[in-house]
């Protein structure tokens, strides 16, 4: 399936006469830079009730009244697997490791914690009042942090398994995927800059630094995060401990050693940028959820409506991705980074999708610019 997809992608990029001509080619990217495509297990597996397969949280969600579009993945792409994480990872490494050299363990745990266990709009729809939507079970103050903690341990266990049992022979690499946003302070006020810093701490850090044209010259330090900080230093950042204590789990000495350095690369799903401002109301809350712990209000545009939760973002801002990559390199050196998701939707099904071609062209150019 790879060759037809790649040929189609090349055709889409080159065949359209209504899109500005590309000013770079694949040859402009350095050796070792990889293009690719990906999918998710729920989009691929299907076989919803075959061979003793039990319902996943997404199967349950897709068949519930909470599913906004009534679509399921009962068939999907007709793939299949059983999902005991460590055992599943072992099977994958053993059966496919001679061909698969890049393994990503978990998708976007830093944002799924909010969507699935705080506000409850994603499977398994766990949340608590007054924070979530139509909550029937869950605890929005505690469960997002439990989810993050156990995802880190599951990921790190898979990395250790691969390094101890397979890496020497298979010569592959293992990483984790994170949801990425470039977050700009709404104003240059100290309150908005601090709110942006907290937002980056909780999301995954690395995006608070001077962006040209966004009046953010003073916010030029790297801020650590719920995922990257433990993987680098074996513990959560102090800002998270201060905001979420005692709801934030702690690492034992064994767990701290397990998670420290447990990645060969970091994958980013990066689509957009947002603005953040201070949320003074959180100081009045007797009980807080994860979103309130961040203490920020978010906007898709400078004059748009506010949200206490991280938005998906609608701003087309290739410069944001460029600066994210530059800052990561400046802080950590040349760690391996993969942009695993990027792109934009289109209202029709035409293959002559000039808007998406133009979007991808601009973001690819921003990656190339950050490399140069």
Q: Which amino acids are annotated catalytic?
A: 108, 341
58 vs 64: CA distance, rounded Å: 10
Give residue 98's region: left, alpha or beta (phi > 0; psi -120 to 50).
Answer: alpha
* Closest to 185 (Cα-Cα) out of 273, 316, 292: 273
Work out the angle at residue 312's Cα, subtended by the Cα atoms of residues 277 and 346, and round it to the nearest 5 degrees. 140
147 vs 113: CA distance, rounded Å: 6
Beta bridge partners of 337: 266
* Closest to 36 (Cα-Cα) out of 364, 365, 368: 364
224 vs 240: CA distance, rounded Å: 9
* Closest to 171 (Cα-Cα) out of 224, 102, 230: 102
Element holding 258 (H helix, E strand): helix 253-259
Q: How many Cα atoms within 13 Å fall on the side-chain side of residue 264?
A: 15
């Amino acid at each position: 399936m790879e060759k037809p997809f790649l040929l189609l992608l090349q055709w889409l990029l080159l065949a359209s006469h209504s899109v500005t001509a590309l000013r770079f080619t694949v040859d402009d990217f350095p050796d070792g830079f990889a293009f690719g495509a990906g999918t998710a297990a729920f989009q691929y597996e299907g076989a919803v009730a075959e061979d003793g397969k039990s319902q996943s949280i997404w199967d349950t969600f897709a068949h519930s009244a909470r599913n906004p579009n009534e679509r399921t993945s009962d068939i999907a792409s007709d793939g299949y697997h059983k999902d005991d994480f460590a055992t599943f990872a072992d099977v994958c490494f053993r059966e496919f490791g001679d061909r698969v050299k890049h393994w990503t363990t978990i998708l976007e745990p830093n944002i799924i914690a909010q969507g699935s266990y705080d506000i409850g709009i994603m499977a398994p729809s766990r949340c608590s009042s007054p924070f979530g939507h139509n909550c029937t079970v869950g605890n929005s103050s505690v469960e997002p942090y439990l989810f993050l903690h156990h995802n880190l341990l599951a990921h790190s266990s898979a990395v250790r398994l691969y390094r101890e049992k397979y890496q020497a022979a298979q010569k592959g690499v293992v990483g984790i995927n994170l949801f990425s946003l470039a977050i700009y302070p709404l104003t240059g006020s100290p309150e908005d800059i601090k709110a942006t810093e907290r937002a980056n701490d909780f999301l995954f850090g690395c995006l608070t630094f001077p962006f040209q044209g966004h009046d953010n010259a003073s916010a030029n330090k790297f801020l650590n995060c719920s995922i990257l900080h433990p993987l680098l230093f074996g513990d959560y950042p102090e800002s998270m401990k201060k905001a979420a204590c005692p709801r934030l789990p702690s690492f034992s000495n064994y767990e701290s050693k397990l998670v420290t350095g447990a990645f060969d690369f970091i994958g980013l799903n990066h689509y957009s940028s947002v603005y953040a401002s201070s949320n003074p109301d959180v100081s009045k809350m007797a009980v807080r959820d994860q979103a309130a712990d961040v203490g920020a209000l978010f906007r898709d545009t400078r004059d748009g409506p506010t949200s206490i939760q991280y938005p998906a973002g609608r701003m087309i801002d290739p410069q944001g991705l460029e600066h994210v990559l530059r800052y990561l390199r400046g802080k950590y050196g040349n760690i391996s980074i993969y942009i695993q998701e990027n792109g934009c939707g289109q209202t029709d099904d035409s293959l002559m999708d000039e808007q998406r071609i133009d979007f991808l062209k601009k973001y690819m150019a921003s990656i190339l610019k950050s490399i140069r």
